[in-house]
Amino acid sequence: MRDYSSMPKLKWNNDKATMAKIKTQIMREEPVILIMPEGFKYNVDAIACDCTERAELLIECKPDIAMSTLAEHNTMPMLREVGEAAKATGMRIDIDPEDSRLIIHD
């Protein structure tokens, strides 16, 4: 299992300042953990997103597909931008509903 302890964390806010910080991390090809708000819906199709299921986690998901799905389910269109940026830099997404976070990594 991947060790997330040294990765920077950002609390998700649906605003331009948060988006700029997230994109900066991604464009530098550096991992970032997004702490999502209470009530966030994590339902994605693991097969469609090319994820591997491990316990409560979905790991190594295709970022553009996973984030687009999450954006739609949560009415957060900015998540699509995050997914596209992650795809452009070759990063992947781990989805951790238990700890309310999305992990963007290489």
Q: State how far the Cα of 10 lies from the Cα of 90, in Å rounded to an integer.
A: 20
Q: State how far the Cα of 56 lies from the Cα of 98, in Å rounded to an integer.
A: 7
> How confident is the prediction for the chain on average, in pLDDT?
93
Judged against a pLDDT cut of 70, whether residue 1 lies above it is answered with: no
Q: Where are the domains of the chain?
A: 9-105
Judged against a pLDDT cut of 80, whether residue 2 lies above it is answered with: no
pLDDT in tens, 73-91: 999 999 999 999 999 999 9
Query: What is the reported pTM?
Result: 0.92
Q: State how far the Cα of 94 lies from the Cα of 59, in Å rounded to an integer.
A: 4
Cβ–Cβ < 8 Å for 83, 22: no
